[in-house]
Structure 1
């Protein structure tokens, strides 16, 4: 019998009485594990080897787990500090113990919650008292011992409940791998006893083999096209980016030009120019992400004065301002933009590209940031499709027609419009589309005609219709996604992103 060199070496290294893993054999033979695996399956097809598979779990410490293994779990450090401060006899102020235990930042909450869970003591009124009979023995804390065992590759002896707890705390990672083991069959033993020779095989025809004529004498390697292969994922454009680029193409085709601008901007551009009162709830820290940086000094002073006057006194003889506080310091404060209308204000005012004469069409597809509660339709950051048209005698019908033309490019024709209130547009309305899977109406955008209080300080003397549409909501209508967290963010569904089909 003649076998390729790798198969022969594997057959000779395998044992009929001792099971060996592919990894062990690959190291022993100095071969690539993939090549040894392929050879094992080929020998198994010939009946010379038996291949068995089982799933093995690998447990490793995370960076935080390694830090706690070396420096001690936060709750144990707090317990040690409490014991040294005499908390077993009388209550000790928590602030003192936190300092003594060198707990910082998130470690404080981690220490307090696990201190109570393990029954190490009581925390009452900002003071700590140690328990006489704790649930866990602090000198033999099972979680601390588990960290040490994992570090020493002894996780197989640990209780799964302890591992589950450490995994939930983010202190270790568990991964499953398929382990393949081989043993010689009786046929394999017989073949070795009768004698097996190495066959020189060639994996591909080369120019040298052709010109020399040796290709007629060599033995070509056989390839099992049905053998298991490792799954590899090539890079691809994210579906959100792909859709954003398509939105840009559609809007450019409709005669729009793209706007660009900063993600962090003065509240003046983000809200004040929009005639949003400074005491509006959306401008508090509950809804915006303020930044601890110096205020923005580069603001056009004359525009600041006109915007402040509009807020205080309104615009025109019949105008009426908000009669609420207006602080220039607040206007200059920097925050992450909650909408890309800050770009519209920069362009309409002439601050970005100089004075604009009607008609004009501009858009942007960029990220915005809001302190929202996470749910299937809300994220802390998402993409907004901003757009506006400057022209004479615009009407709501023009705005609705623009949306109809835009969404038809994506196969969405069942739009619904609902009157709405915005401080900066009048009239205003929200857009809704029907979800293709649930049939539920999904809000997909907000729009309207800019008020005179917005346009007059900017120096714009004609109508401007504007909108802000959610790119992620467009994806929901196009692909039937029910949760935008599947598409991007820390909880995104990688399998979905790899396999989703492109919709045109």
Structure 2
């Protein structure tokens, strides 16, 4: 019997009595793992060997786990600080121990939750008591972290599971293969197996000399496992944005463009947002340090906007009667919403005066200093849009939403009245999540107030909205956490597999 050299090397290296891993064979025959695996599968097809596949989990430290290897587990640091302050004899104020252990933020909760669990002591009435018989040097979790950091295995599955629950260790699944000789393989080896020289590729030299006519070519195992290709693709948010643009253009809208960094005048003042509104403090906006202010603003428009803020518009409006400072209006910041584009276009500043009817939209980023959670990030895409026409009503606005979302097969919409400084009436828009069945807020909308439109020189009704692209995507694809598609915690498998259907 004749076999290619790699197959013969593997056949001679494996045993009929015990399983040999591909990793061990790789070292023995001095070939790449893929070559050894291919040879093993070829031998299996010939009936000379068996290949067994098992799923193994390889533990590795998370970033938090690596930090604790360097600094120590929070509960161990808390215990050692408690001992230093004599908590093994008398209870010590918890605050003093925490400060001595140099713990803050989430580390405090982590330390306190594991302190009693591991028998390091007790916490009662705001005081810490340390167990003098505890042995932090024998902490099994700390020892396991150190072992993993040194590349050593951890045999205690209970400890490993605890570290996984604490997000200090993550388990990476991999397929492990082992090979064993069959009876037929033993028989052929005893009878003698010779090397069959086979070529694995056709070369220009073989074509030129004619050697290819007498060459024996290696067979390709098209069923063998191969690495999963992950080619580049358009991000699912960009797919969604392009689909939204197509839908709105098809509904007769034109696209707006404008700066991401803009003057507070365009971002807020033109929207009849009072300058002492909480959302305009440094806690909620990203202000620029250099340059700090815009050079110029249209003087006539500034005067009209200031007058609307101070006095209102028309006989039924009193304005805010609150401070208004043009220097504050000139301050530059990342736009907190793309309605700044609407203000620029409606005022005629961007593309000249507009006469009704008009329809405009944008799908652009906005930036807010929000608390990060499943539905909020510091930056997000907003679907901005407005319609200028005569005698618009809320029913027109609701009908527009019904038509728009129906293009994405979203029909279960809910509307709830709300308050906005720049629209009246106003309402929030909700859609039902396809997986959780919960109603989630997907946008805000209303009819622009006269106090906003009159200074801009608009003598018609304008209905407007700001919709969240990411939350539209939630309703389309069913993902539940905005961080799956944005930022450092993205779900790569989700991004590789999901598509926005057209």
TM-score range, shorter chain: 0.7 to 0.9
Matched, 1:426 2:421: no
1-structure distance, mates of 2:120, 2:323: 52
1:289 aligns with 2:284: yes
Q: Does 1:469 align with 2:467?
A: yes
**Larger displacement relative to structure 2 (223-232 or 399-408):** 399-408
Cross-structure match for 1:43: 43
Which residue number corresponds to residue 367 of structure 1?
A: 365
Whole-angstrom distance in 1 between the partners of 2:410 and 2:91: 66
2:83 aligned with 1:83, yes or no? yes
2:178 is aligned to 181
Q: Against the structure 1 CA distance between its residues 55 and 156, is the aligned structure 2 distance closer, same or farther, given a 3 Å change threshold?
A: farther
Aligned residue in 1 for 2:130: 131
Instruction: Identify if the C-alpha distance between structure 1 residues 108 and 132 changes in structure 2 by more than 3 Å, giving closer, same or farther.
Output: closer
**Cα separation, 2, equivalents of 1:223 and 1:105:** 57
Matches within 5 A, 1:477-492: 478=476, 481=478, 483=480, 485=482, 488-489=485-486
Aligned to 2:138: 140
Distance 1:30 1:99, change over 3 A: same
1:455 and 2:453 correspond: yes
Q: Residues 126-175 of structure 1, C-alpha deviation per residue, up to 9 Å, x if partnerless? A: 6x4333467x53232222122123234443422x3322222233322222
Give the number of aligned pairs.
494
Mapping of residues 315-326 of structure 1, within 5 Å: 315-323=313-321
Question: Contact 1:289–1:335 (CA<8 Å) still a contact in 2?
Answer: no
Secondary structure of 1:289's counterpart equals coil
* Pairing partner for 2:346 from 345, 348, 369: 348
Matches of 1:336 and 1:94, distance apart in 2:
42
Distance 2:92 2:287 in 1: 35
> Deviation at 1:119?
4.3
- Which deviates more from structure 2 when the two are superposed, residues 439-448 or residues 15-24? 439-448
Cα distance between partner residues in 2 of 1:453 and 1:363: 22
Partner residue in 1 for 2:215: 218
Task: Render the CA deviation track for 1:333-369: whole Å, top value 9, x for unaligned.
Answer: 7776543213322443456x36444355432212344
Please give the alpha-carbon distance, in whole angstroms, between the structure 2 residues aligned to 1:152 and 1:418. Answer: 57
1:61 and 1:477 map into 2 onto residues whose CA distance is 35
Q: Which residue of 1 aligns with 2:20?
A: 20
Q: Equivalent residue for 2:60? A: 60
Which consecutive residues of structure 1, in runs of 5 or more, have no partner in the other structure?
none
Q: How many angstroms apart in 1 are the aligned matches of 2:47 and 2:188?
A: 10
Residues 104-115 of structure 1 aligned to structure 2 (within 5 Å): 105-115=105-115
Matched-pair contact (CA < 8 Å) for 1:358–1:392: no
SS of residue matched to 1:177 = strand
Cα offset, 1:279, TM superposition: 6.5
- Residues 428 and 62 of structure 1, relative CA distance in 2, 3 Å threshold: closer
Residue number in structure 1 paired with 2:386 = 388
Equivalent residue for 2:120?
120
In 2, the alpha carbon distance for the partners of 1:68 and 1:280 equals: 43
| Alpha-carbon distance change, 362 to 165 in structure 1, aligned in 2, over 3 angstroms | same
Is 1:258 paired with 2:253? no
Partners of 1:244 and 1:394 in 2: CA distance: 27
Q: Return closer, same or farther for 1:110/1:335 CA change in 2, 3 Å cut-off.
A: farther
Aligned to 1:165: 162
CA distance in 2, matches of 1:472, 1:317: 41
1:86 shift after superposition: 2.5
In structure 1, what is the equivalent of residue 337 of structure 2?
339
Matches within 5 A, 1:290-329: 290-291=285-286, 294=289, 296-298=292-294, 300=297, 302=299, 306-323=304-321
Residue 246 (structure 1) aligned with residue 250 (structure 2): no
Q: Would the alpha carbon gap of residues 445 and 78 (structure 1) be closer, same or farther in structure 2, given more than 3 Å must change? A: closer
Structure 2: how far apart are the matches of 1:498 and 1:64?
27
C-alpha contact 1:315 1:456 (8 A) present in aligned 2 = yes
Cα pair 1:259 1:362 within 8 Å, conserved? no
Pick from 341, 351, 358 the counterpart of residue 355 of structure 2.
358
For residues 28-50 of structure 1, give each alpha carbon's deviation from its aligned partner in whole angstroms, at most 9, with x where no partner exists: 32212111101101101212222
Conserved 8 A contact 1:88-1:129: no
Alignment CA distance shift 1:404-1:50 (3 Å) = closer
CA distance in 1, matches of 2:435, 2:57: 38
Cα RMSD after superposing both structures: 4.0
Shift in CA distance, 148/478, structure 1 to aligned 2, threshold 3 Å: closer
Using the TM superposition, give the Cα deviation of residue 268 of structure 1 relative to its aligned residue in structure 2, in angstroms.
4.8
Deviation string for 1:421-473 (max 9, x for gaps)?
A: 54322344555667788998876544333211012333444443322223244
**Cα deviation, residue 245, structure 1:** 1.2
Uncovered stretches (5+) of structure 2, i.e. residues with no partner: none
Q: Is the 8 A contact 2:446 2:464 kept in 1?
A: yes
